[in-house]
């Protein structure tokens, strides 16, 4: 199947497309081992060039895309501080910048602080756009790597009880992953969050419409033993009224050794990173803690997507 | 012909050199289509390395050079924030920095805030220097891409009526382009600017000496119908005494749909970008608006120059 | 011999290892001339990727490593501003960042402001770490390039009278070089510094234990005529009580033309750069001034180390 712009996770509704992405991702993961040079980008005669255009820093995501492109034998031009494009002149539009960068590159990875920016970019760009986060909007490659990690670790992306822990209101990662999972079969969601950071109602409405089981306001201790996946995100202090409000609840959202005791042997703990106190480092060696593998999987997902888009 | 340092546009006085640059530029533009790998840099056995050394941000120019080098199969080492070189110690000279960077690279693209810096760099550098803007001085590759765009769009760089609109006092782009055009045959210049931003007298003196036709203080509406080229630059608010002074004149320097009606069918509108209100985006689709093609041409000009310098 | 992490200069205690590094460095230096492509990194099938992870800017060191990697045919992913990794969340540990970057790269060059950081990184990293400066700690590749420069310029690294001039207290470069030299044969050290910036006592204790000759509080004018090597570092104003204290002594630590007259014809003057007034530029053309060659040697040392680590 042909991929062009990747703007939102809803483009991956079709199971065949997901399967194709995941199958290529697995081959990318074993590239060093198999030495399969057909996975690399072909020259034509020059190498393909990816531009990373980041309006806010996200070094982790940028390096992941850049490493993916380089592993494929492609090239990078990079800007970590894209506001400089318009620093000499207030008000160059995103559209103008995209048109210019598109003339220098074969594909643009865009990170921007405004929801909808990736969509706007895709409407004017003569080269494919990949959304690497558009403010409170989406970050589709993160959601795909999350789902791929579940598939790889558990062998399936259906018949799952999934706990989502932390800031469920503002985490675009959570929203996109819930949407992707909701399109698989027999998924149950358990939402675990402080009251002011509950999953948004547009998502619960969507789940009800699709007749998908979910439970809000879960207590981590009550449900930990039934979960197949525990997806953890940070609680940001800034989201709370004051320090007292934060301190009052934060303890209930820590995946500590006690929680580990209650999890099933094959439950997988995911986290988009960076983490803070919600995942104490003394659980890192537990085989159920797969968040560093998850970060690595981001590399392979992006290699697969770049290959599919560019060839 | 052999090119080494590119410091100022006056190095391109000879028609044969310009023709050679433009001819190679055209071949570079069709590289993807022709697949002519002889245009790429050859390995010896290692790849050539270009260093971008930018003392002030200019992401557009930097990415254009970097993309050009990568398209040729070369490599880049990059610094967007060259003042860091001397951040630990006040007072490392440009000369010292150049000597060190030259030992790491085969060619240096230098952007600096001081006029004459590229010349100074060229005097100590064992590798070629390309001036990518030296403060109020020159930006020769911009002037070359402007001229190339005219040649490509109109088929000639002589017998032209050229309107130059906006800030004619401070725009180094304008100064270099006027010089380059003044060395072609039968060019007429029409300068359109607010009184405080008139073309500098050293340029008008030069044109009078060479007996080249020009007219100052033109009104855009009066002359638009006779122009072959309309080259537009920004009016920066900061150049005016106050906001009122700016607001009083800015409306006369906007290329809007009404102006389009008065232009000839084959007039070409150029702009070095970024643009603001002087070029409303609703004229972008007019075939006479070639400023995005112009930005793209910068890539091909730089590929040609890099190839000529490095081989 | 196999190299993995490079954390401290003490790893180069064995003469055989130093000789192997220096011998490969010489071959790297002549790569352009010999065209010996066996020196380049081999593909497997993809190119090796080096990540530069800099928590403080050091453009000189970063570009040297990046150029070295590119000359070997390898690839770079780069971050000049690694604190961005944790900008969204206070408190991501270095260990977590290293684990993530290691999954994107084959080797990490780390610059960090905390002593011991490179060691900590090496303890968790699945890929090799090269210490490119850990605060007041070490910068082993700088010490190796210093020693290589002595060997190349004088033909030996034993039987040397070595003068060390400037800030001997805080310069990690000086400390590592003294250690490396102290492990060669028949070295005499002459320490020339203001009283408050004397060589630390742990070093003098070490030299006494190993029964190595050294003299503190030397006057540059008194001893300049006997030196084989004069290694100069900056005196930073900030290290002094006040401007008066700095001004009172700074003149005695300038290597000017008068000093040149007293040096032997084959004395070599080294400096890690950047320099300020301690090395006036009017001595640059003297053949004994080898500091720019020294900077260039950094490239070849790093090529050799990267090749040894990665293959």
pLDDT in tens, A246-263: 888 888 899 999 999 999
Residue A46 CB partners (closer than 8 Å, separation 6+): B31, B32, B40, B70, B71, B72, B73
**Which residues is B214 bridged to in the sheet?**
B189
> Rounded mean pLDDT of C206-226?
96
**Chain C residues within 8 A of A35 when measuring between CB atoms:** 44-45
Pick the residue of A84, A106, A310 with the most B CBs within 10 A to test the interface with B by mutation: A84
* Residue C154 near residue C129 (C-beta atoms within 8 A): no
Contact A71 C99 (CB under 8 A): no
State residue A246's pLDDT score.
Answer: 86
User: Which of C277, C260, C253, C276 lies closest to C195 in space, CA to CA?
Assistant: C253
A241 pLDDT higher than 90 = no
What value, to the nearest 5°, has the Cα angle with vertex B66 and ends B65 and B67?
A: 95
Structure tokens at B269: 């509108």
State residue A301's pLDDT score.
Answer: 98
Contact B276 A87 (CB under 8 A): no
Q: Which is it for the CA torsion C185, C186, C187, C189, positive or negative? A: positive
Place B70 in a pLDDT band, splitting at 50, 70 and 90. Answer: very high
State residue A80's pLDDT score.
Answer: 76
- The mean of the pLDDT values for chain B is 94
Q: What DSSP letter does each residue of C173-199 carry, written as one string?
A: HHHHHHHHHHTSSSEEEEEE--GGGPP
State residue C82's pLDDT score.
Answer: 73
Determine contact: B250 vs chain A, CB below 8 A.
no
Structure tokens at A68: 């993916």
Place B44 in a pLDDT band, splitting at 50, 70 and 90. Answer: confident
State residue B90's pLDDT score.
Answer: 59
Active site (annotated) includes residue C275:
no
Residue A160 three-state SS? strand
Chain C closest-CA separation from residue B29 CA (Å): 26
Give dist(CA B149, CA B90) in Å, integer: 42
Contact C295 B100 (CB under 8 A): yes
Q: What DSSP letter does each residue of B51-81 carry, written as one string?
A: EEEESS--HHHHHHHHHHHHHTT-EEEEES-
User: Which of C39, C234, C273 lies closest to B103 in space, CA to CA?
Assistant: C273
Contact C72 B46 (CB under 8 A): yes
**Chain B residues within 8 A of A45 when measuring between CB atoms:** 31, 35-37, 40
C102-145, pLDDT tens digit by residue? Answer: 999 999 999 999 999 999 999 999 999 999 999 989 999 999 99
**Chain C residues within 8 A of A172 when measuring between CB atoms:** none
**Chain A residues within 8 A of C79 when measuring between CB atoms:** 59, 63, 80
What residue of C is the nearest CA neighbor of B82? Answer: C59
**Chain A residues within 8 A of B295 when measuring between CB atoms:** 99-100, 103
Place A84 in a pLDDT band, splitting at 50, 70 and 90. Answer: low
**How high is the ipTM of this complex?**
0.95
Residue B2 three-state SS? coil
Inter-chain contacts counted by CB atoms under 8 A, chains A and B: 79
C11-26, pLDDT tens digit by residue? Answer: 999 999 999 999 999 9
Give dist(CA B145, CA B300) in Å, integer: 8
Chain A closest-CA separation from residue C52 CA (Å): 11
Place B92 in a pLDDT band, splitting at 50, 70 and 90. Answer: confident
Chain A closest-CA separation from residue B15 CA (Å): 28
Give residues 8 to 47 of C whose Cβ lies within 8 Å of B.
Answer: 31-32, 35-37, 40
**Which residues is B108 bridged to in the sheet?**
B51, B129
Place B85 in a pLDDT band, splitting at 50, 70 and 90. Answer: low
Give dist(CA C289, CA C270) in Å, integer: 7
Active site (annotated) includes residue C307:
no
A172-231, pLDDT tens digit by residue? Answer: 899 999 999 999 999 999 999 999 899 999 999 999 999 999 999 999 999 999 999 999
Higher pLDDT pick, C81 / A110: A110
Structure tokens at A29: 């993961």
Structure tokens at A140: 């589709």
Inter-chain contacts counted by CB atoms under 8 A, chains A and C: 79
Q: Which domains does chain A have, with CATH numbers?
A: 9-138+297-310 (3.40.50.1370), 140-295 (3.40.50.1370)
Give dist(CA C263, CA A264) in Å, integer: 76
State residue C43's pLDDT score.
Answer: 82
Q: Which of C32, C63, C276 sits opposite B104 (nearest CB)?
A: C63
Name the strand (E) or helix (H) holding A111: strand A107-112
Subunits with 3+ C-beta pairs closer than 8 A to C: A, B
**Which residues is C165 bridged to in the sheet?**
C192, C232
**Residues of A identified as active-site:** 60-61, 90, 111, 139
Give dist(CA C265, CA C288) in Å, integer: 7
Look at A90-99, A121-130, B124-133, C56-65 and tell me which has the smallest mean pLDDT.
A90-99
Q: Which is it for the CA torsion A152, A156, A162, A167, positive or negative? A: positive
Give dist(CA B72, CA B64) in Å, integer: 12
B21-31, pLDDT tens digit by residue? Answer: 999 999 999 99
State residue B86's pLDDT score.
Answer: 54
* Residue B227 near residue B255 (C-beta atoms within 8 A): no
Chain C closest-CA separation from residue A192 CA (Å): 21
Residue A302 three-state SS? helix
Contact C100 A67 (CB under 8 A): no
HSE (side-chain half, CA atoms, 13 Å) at B198 = 13
Alpha carbon separation from B138 to B175, B307, C94 (Å, rounded):
8, 22, 44
Determine contact: B103 vs chain C, CB below 8 A.
yes
């Amino acid at each position: 199947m042909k991929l062009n712009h990747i703007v939102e996770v809803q483009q991956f509704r079709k199971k065949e497309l997901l399967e194709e992405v995941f199958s290529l991702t697995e081959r990318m993961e074993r590239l060093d081992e198999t030495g399969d040079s057909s996975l690399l980008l072909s020259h034509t005669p020059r190498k393909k060039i990816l531009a990373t255009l980041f309006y806010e820093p996200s070094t982790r995501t940028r390096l992941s895309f850049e490493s993916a492109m380089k592993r494929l034998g492609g090239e990078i031009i990079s800007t970590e501080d894209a506001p400089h494009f318009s620093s000499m002149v207030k008000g160059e539009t995103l559209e103008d910048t995209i048109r210019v960068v598109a003339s220098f590159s074969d594909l643009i990875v865009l990170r921007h602080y405004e929801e909808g920016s990736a969509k706007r970019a895709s409407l004017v760009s003569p080269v494919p756009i990949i959304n690497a986060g558009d403010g409170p909007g989406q970050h589709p490659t993160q959601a795909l790597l999350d789902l791929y990690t579940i598939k790889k670790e558990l062998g399936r992306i259906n018949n799952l009880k999934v706990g989502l822990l932390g800031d469920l209101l503002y985490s675009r990662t959570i929203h996109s992953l819930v949407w992707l999972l909701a399109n698989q079969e027999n998924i149950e969601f358990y939402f675990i969050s402080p009251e002011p950071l509950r999953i948004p109602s547009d998502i619960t409405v969507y789940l009800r419409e699709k007749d998908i089981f979910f439970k809000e306001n879960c207590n981590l201790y009550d449900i930990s033993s039934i979960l197949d996946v525990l997806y953890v995100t940070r609680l940001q202090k800034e989201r709370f009224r004051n320090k007292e409000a934060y301190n009052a609840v934060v303890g209930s959202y820590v995946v500590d050794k006690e929680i580990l005791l209650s999890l099933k042997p094959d439950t997988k703990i995911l986290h988009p990173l960076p983490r803070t106190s919600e995942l104490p480092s003394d659980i890192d060696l537990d085989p159920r803690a797969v968040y560093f593998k998850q970060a690595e999987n981001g590399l392979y997902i992006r290699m697969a997507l770049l290959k599919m888009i560019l060839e």
